[in-house]
Structure 1
């Protein structure tokens, strides 16, 4: 079975066009512009180039996840040269921060070019169905990338750079995007882009099998819900908009939970685009090798001599204990984390988990292991090239479970704990967990969001930072407690023996974590960006 995101993203590191610094965007918008968008295939080709960078190492392949070292859910299996991402002593010039920043702005420049050209064309003629879809996809990708910059760099008193090329009567003059006065302005632009996307995009169900990885109306509605949830940090009225958007996903777009937690992370391609799917990266194995490298990044380094796993992110004792509150061995815990002595399959052979590689943690992420269990896995399910360890899995960027949790949070923040309880219990029932004993609290919300979405690109660090600024004292205290804590791991007396005893210790790397204060809610801009702006971009305060 072949589908767009498998085909379009295969070998993305080699196939995608290079992304220039967003401060020099002329190269993004200048190449033979008179020859673009003369037919449907040109529109398809232009938009496909928007999807390819999403999977690259500098985006959702790996780099953006290093930021999660600032939480207590993961530790790094291998020392990095940018410990400041984990110690909260940000400089802005850490290579993952600088790289993702430039990638997101490069993507927005590409999307701006497509939107400008297609909206100009639309003024003189009726766009074809493919061109309309392409325009919707460009609006979606521009808003999606804008969101990932806005919530990580913008505050109520200072937004992030952004402009819409279609607002210019002539071609955009390639000046630097102006910095917006508030992140609320940025969020409003993102909502406008999603409304435009919804007006042009098809429903997921209207796509043929070859195109189901493309953005859909439901994906745009989901991003609206997520944007409103972050916007609510500054404007509590937006919680009502979160509820409205998730209601739309449920009642208009037919989104729902997958029957089982396991199914969300299956290697069965026929289940990739079920009711829980909203937007993600469909990976493949074998000769195609497309997808995000993240499943191989979190696999045990060298995978006991079977495969070139990288061992770079590992669960902590803290997230294990949080999940175990629901009962040791519960479905969600077993599917998310491998502990010493747990049995699992790798390349068709049953093993018991232990870890002898790199910095000790005592755990491994299990969420993405289904493709690796198959005998002769590199023939079909896993990329034969271990230097790009992708596999056949749907790697979620947004899924309906996250939306339910946003709605539950919105209900709690608007005084409807009974409705929040119902949403949380849907998730707990799906994983065969006991329902909440009473009505939901913000502590329950913190627990469920942390456990359900662990090790996904949903930005747990972003959750903690917005919660630390919340008007709700309960969630604020929980967030600050984690932000000010140092993660713990298990140290085994004999790392090669699954039966060995262990001690819980502080993780041995990056121990000098800064005390969290409000300026750390956002990252500092890279120094070269500040320099190139020549005084027209204000650095975030206290950096």
Structure 2
């Protein structure tokens, strides 16, 4: 079955590319200048180098997820030195913040160069089909990386640095990118790049099986919906654009929910590319693994002596309690969270979950555990290299269920609570949960988005931050409560016994000495964005202004 080689053209191939010169890290504005784009293979190599960083540990493998410690859905499981990410006392120089900022801006720089080079070639001669696709992918990856920088560092007071190389008449002059006036200016350029991506990209269905996983038209439309939703935190007129984008995904691109919630996280290749898929990191196992190492990061530390799990990033009692509102043992909670005594398959053995990891939580993430159920899983389903523990699962970065919840949020903001209920109920019905009986409320939206997308890279922490910024009192109060809380855990009398008694109490790490129930500083709106790394401010020579309050 050719699906086994899905990643050959995208994530794994980027690691194995023979084009080592192109993959050498270059300083901002100084990419490799030897002649390039003389054939299709060079275009493919250039684009694969743009995909390469997103699946690595420094981005969606792990590092960007440490930020979620600032909310109450997860705890870190193992003590880290950058506790300021959990207490919201940001410095900007925490290694995960600094590293992800550098990697994302590096992808922007490389994508800028690819866009410029292919546009220059297009002005002189017709592009091949592969080169047209590559240009669309470059526009997409520039928008993708720009977006993850923009919303995390930009607001209505000032935007983030960004320039388009093709806007320089004589070619990019290697100057420091201009800091945009507001994040809305960044969002406008991101939307323009996504529109250009749609112009050049194929549909998902036009890809052969070896190239699935690349950017496609519907993925760009989905990110447009998310950009408009984040933009709406500062301009409510953008909610109507969110609705239009989600409508387009249904009507123009035939997107829909997968039949069952578990299908989204299946280790069966036949479930990788359902109608729910929009964009993500497709993973493999065995001796030549690819994808994100996140499934191994979240696995019990040392994997009960069977596999080298890392014991990091655990569910809190708070998210388990929120999911319990839909009833104990429901299809979504059991597929999302392992609790003590819950049966699961691990390397062909039926086990009951318990945890002896470094810092107690009482739970483990179950969403990405399907590959680990197989006997001799390391032959095909799980990486045989425990130091890079990828697994055969198509880890979503954005999926259609999130689109439905964005449209529900848009309709709530525009006063159409009845339409919001329809989209929320589509998500609930898929997991066999009791549907809402009337109009949706902001509390319903908060619950559904929090539970459906738990432990994914949808950014629950930023949901809370933008909701706190909202003018609606109900959603702001819910966000404020969680932002000011300290996550709780189950503390077991005997951790290795799934029948042991437990008490619910504050998670042990990063407690405020004065009051263990709250974070050290009450949340306020300047925390909506991170501070820039001090090195970025210094090397800009005064052209990059630090965010207010830092």
Q: Bin the TM-score by the shorter chain.
A: over 0.9
* 1:406 equivalent in structure 2: 406
- Show the 5 A alignment for 1:167-186: 167-186=167-186
Aligned to 1:307: 307
Counterpart for residue 165 of structure 1: 165
Contact kept? 1:484, 1:516, Cα under 8 Å:
yes
Matched, 1:524 2:531: yes
List aligned pairs for 1:40-55, cutoff 5 A: 40-55=40-55
> For 2:28, which of 4, 7, 25 is the aligned residue?
25
**Contact 1:464–1:480 (8 Å) recurs in 2:** yes
1:126 CA drift (Å): 1.2
**Measured at CA, do residues 477 and 297 of structure 1 come closer, stay the same or move farther in structure 2, by a change above 3 Å?**
same
1:345-382 CA-partner distances (Å, limit 9, x unpaired): 10000000000120000000000000000000001100
Check whether the contact 1:354–1:497 (CA below 8 A) recurs between aligned residues: yes
1:211-290 to structure 2, matched below 5 A, reads 211-290=211-290
Give, in angstroms, the shift of residue 118 of structure 1: 0.5
Distance (whole Å) between structure 1 residues aligned to residue 337 and residue 151 of structure 2:
28
| Aligned pair partner of 2:10 in 5, 8, 11 | 8
Distance in 2, matches of 1:93 and 1:18, equals 26
In structure 2, C-alpha distance between the alignment counterparts of 1:7 and 1:67, rounded to whole Å? 31
For the residue of structure 2 that corresponds to 1:237, the secondary structure is helix
1:405-426 Cα distance to aligned partner (Å, 9 max, x none): 0000000000111110000000
How many residue pairs get aligned? The number is 538
- Larger displacement relative to structure 2 (166-175 or 484-493): 166-175
SS at match of 2:239: helix
- The Cα of 1:9 is off from its aligned counterpart by 2.1
Query: Residues 295 and 391 of structure 1 are in contact (CA less than 8 Å); yes or no, is this contact kept in structure 2?
Result: yes
- Residue of structure 1 equivalent to 2:371: 371
1:18-74 superposed Cα distances (whole Å, 9 cap, x missing partner): 6758xx3144x2341xx2111111111111111111111111000000000000000
| Aligned-residue offset at 1:2 | 3.6
TM-score by length of 1: 0.97
Conserved in 1, the CA contact under 8 Å of 2:295 and 2:369? yes
Q: Could you tell me which residue of structure 1 aligns to residue 350 of structure 2?
A: 350
SS state at 1:491 partner: strand
Give the whole-Å Cα distance in 2 for the aligned partners of 1:349 and 1:150: 45
SS in 1 for 2:10: helix
2:97 counterpart residue number = 97
Whether contact under 8 Å (1:7, 1:290) holds in the other structure is no
Query: Any conservation in 2 of the 1:470–1:476 contact (CA below 8 Å)?
Result: yes
Unpaired runs of 5+ in structure 1?
none
Q: Report the alpha carbon displacement of residue 10 of structure 1 after superposing the two structures with TM.
A: 2.8
TM-score by length of 2: 0.96
Segments of 5+ residues of structure 2 without an aligned counterpart are: 513-518
- 1:533 corresponds, among 540, 543, 546, to 540
Residues 420-499 of structure 1: pairs in structure 2 closer than 5 A: 420-499=420-499
Residue 72 of structure 2 aligns to a residue whose secondary structure is coil
**Worse-matched range after superposition: 276-285 or 6-15:** 6-15
**1:85 aligns to what?**
85
Structure 1 CA distance, aligned partners of 2:241 and 2:61?
31
Go from structure 1 to structure 2 and tell me whether the alpha carbon gap of 1:201 and 1:13 turns closer, same or farther (over 3 Å shift): closer
Could you say which residue in structure 2 is the equivalent of 1:210?
A: 210
Where does structure 1 differ by over 4 angstroms across 4 or more consecutive aligned residues?
A: 11-21
Report if the CA contact (8 A) 1:3-1:212 is conserved. no
Q: Deviations over 1:76-128 (max 9, x none)?
A: 11000100000000000000000000000000011001000000111111111
RMSD of the TM alignment (CA)? 1.3
C-alpha deviation, 1:395, in angstroms: 0.6
